[in-house]
């Protein structure tokens, strides 16, 4: 299963790109409209890309009235990413999505360009869980000091899956002036530099929670996608690669199937978790049992525990 990473594709301006994915994940929607950060918002570095978009979005009212119906018309299931500054805001966003045909909700708990709500992960997931029966995915920052502990807390609070990872903080300076290239100085680092970070995050959270994981971070090829699956992901999302290659969805899917076959896996998901096989002589797989509700709701969107 291949998705786009939230904020890395506008299905309304590039519908043919969105249709290449098994589901389209929206840019994060917040309670109120946000214009986003002042320019400059992006910069390429030697090892990845920095962005400081600042959660620009029209707000939940306009999203529900204008954007979501058009997104649903495109065809692929729509996962709505939501973000707020308090548990009650997430709960309200989820309650309003409950009455729509959105396939799943991703809780953005990790945007590095706003005040970090990581400490409230448990409260936010629990509030969201109380507000919706839709599959809930917690998107976490890999920069958390104890990521698996937060992932486990999210699972205990009712998350059905994890989305790993969001960007990490980075800074680029103009070589001539030695001033920050982004308007906000630091921004979110994505692209190739994030690849080993994402692998480690998926690896540790798979072991800790056993939840379905949408793995993302620097994936450019089918081989990269297969590595995330081996670390424990059951779906893979594409982000920065789409900017340079809008056809990456179909390409990575095809490459992934080939890479899996080459290694003797009939299906790419047969490789899920194999990276764990030799750790301490343990069998591949998580160390905890996944709750029935999470198992059921993840299956609704095609993700196996």
Partner 1 sequence: MLRPPGRLLPRPMSLCLAPVGELGFLVDPIGPGTRALTALEPGDQVDVLGPLGNGFRLDPERPLLVGGGIGVAPFPYLSERLGCPPALLGFRTADHAEAAALVPNAEVVLEPTLVTDALAPGFDVLACGPEPMLTAVSRLAPGAQLAWEAPMACGFGACYGCAVEVDGRMARLCVEGPVISARAEMTTEGGVALSVAACSSGRALARRGGGR
Residues carrying an active site annotation: 111
Distance CA 305, CA 298 (A): 7
Residues 6 or more apart whose Cβ sits within 8 Å of residue 179? 173
- Fill in the per-residue mask, 114 to 133: x = in contact with partner 1 (CB under 8 A), - = not in contact: --------------------
Q: In this complex, which beta carbon is closest to partner 1, that of residue 227 or of residue 255?
A: 255
Q: Can residue 40 be called a binding residue for partner 1 (CB under 8 A)?
A: yes
Taking the complex as a whole, how short is the minimal distance between the CB of residue 234 and partner 1, in angstroms? 25
Q: In this complex, which beta carbon is closest to partner 1, that of residue 94 or of residue 226?
A: 226
Taking the complex as a whole, how short is the minimal distance between the CB of residue 227 and partner 1, in angstroms? 19
Window 48-107: residues binding partner 1 (CB under 8 A): 48-49, 51, 53, 56
Are residues 64 and 96 in contact, defined by beta-carbon separation less than 8 angstroms? yes
Coil, strand or helix at 262: helix
- Kindly provide the residue ranges of all beta strands, DSSP E only, lying in the chain, ordered along the sequence: 2-4, 24-25, 42-44, 49-51, 78-82, 104-108, 136-139, 161-164, 168-170, 187-190, 213-215, 235-238
Distance CA 25, CA 214 (A): 11
Give the closest residue to 110 by CA, choosing from 122, 118, 102: 118
Give the closest residue to 127 by CA, choosing from 141, 109, 142: 109
- The single residue among 88, 116, 123, 246 that binds partner 1, judged by CB under 8 A, is 246
Q: In this complex, which beta carbon is closest to partner 1, that of residue 30 or of residue 240?
A: 240
Q: In this complex, which beta carbon is closest to partner 1, that of residue 178 or of residue 266?
A: 178
30, with CB counted inside 10 A (0-12, 13-18, 19+), is buried
Q: Can residue 166 be called a binding residue for partner 1 (CB under 8 A)?
A: no
Distance CA 222, CA 259 (A): 7
- The single residue among 59, 75, 196, 247 that binds partner 1, judged by CB under 8 A, is 247
Q: Can residue 10 be called a binding residue for partner 1 (CB under 8 A)?
A: yes
Q: Can residue 302 be called a binding residue for partner 1 (CB under 8 A)?
A: no
Chain residues in the site for partner 1 (CB under 8 A): 7-10, 12-14, 16-17, 27, 35-36, 38-44, 46, 48-49, 51, 53, 56, 174, 181, 183, 191-192, 240, 242-247, 251
């Amino acid at each position: 299963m291949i998705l786009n990473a939230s904020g890395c594709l506008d299905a309304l301006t590039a519908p043919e790109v969105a249709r290449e994915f098994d589901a389209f994940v929206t840019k994060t929607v917040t309670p109120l409209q946000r214009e986003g950060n002042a320019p400059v918002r992006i910069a390429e570095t030697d090892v990845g890309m920095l962005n400081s978009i600042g959660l620009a979005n029209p707000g939940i009212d306009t999203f529900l009235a204008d954007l979501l119906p058009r997104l649903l018309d495109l065809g692929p299931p729509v996962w709505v990413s939501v973000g707020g500054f308090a548990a009650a805001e997430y709960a309200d966003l989820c309650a309003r999505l409950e009455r729509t045909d959105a396939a799943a909700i991703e809780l953005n708990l990790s945007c590095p360009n706003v005040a970090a709500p990581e400490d409230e992960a448990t409260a936010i997931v629990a509030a969201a869980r109380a507000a919706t029966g839709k599959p809930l995915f917690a998107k976490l920052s890999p920069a958390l000091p104890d990521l698996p502990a937060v992932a486990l807390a999210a699972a205990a609070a009712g998350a059905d899956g994890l989305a790993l990872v969001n960007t990490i903080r980075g800074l680029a300076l103009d070589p001539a002036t030695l001033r920050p290239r982004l308007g906000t100085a630091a921004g979110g680092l994505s692209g190739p530099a994030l690849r080993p970070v994402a692998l480690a995050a998926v690896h540790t959270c798979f072991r800790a929670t056993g939840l379905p994981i949408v793995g993302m971070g620097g994936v450019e090829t089918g081989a990269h996608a297969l590595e995330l699956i081996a670390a424990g992901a059951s779906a893979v999302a594409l982000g920065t690669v789409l900017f340079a290659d809008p056809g990456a969805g179909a390409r990575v899917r095809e490459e992934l199937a080939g890479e899996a076959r080459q290694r003797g896996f009939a299906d790419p998901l047969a490789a899920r978790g194999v990276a764990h096989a030799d750790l301490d002589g343990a069998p591949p797989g998580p160390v905890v049992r996944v709750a029935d509700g999470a198992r059921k709701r993840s299956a609704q969107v095609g993700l196996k525990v």
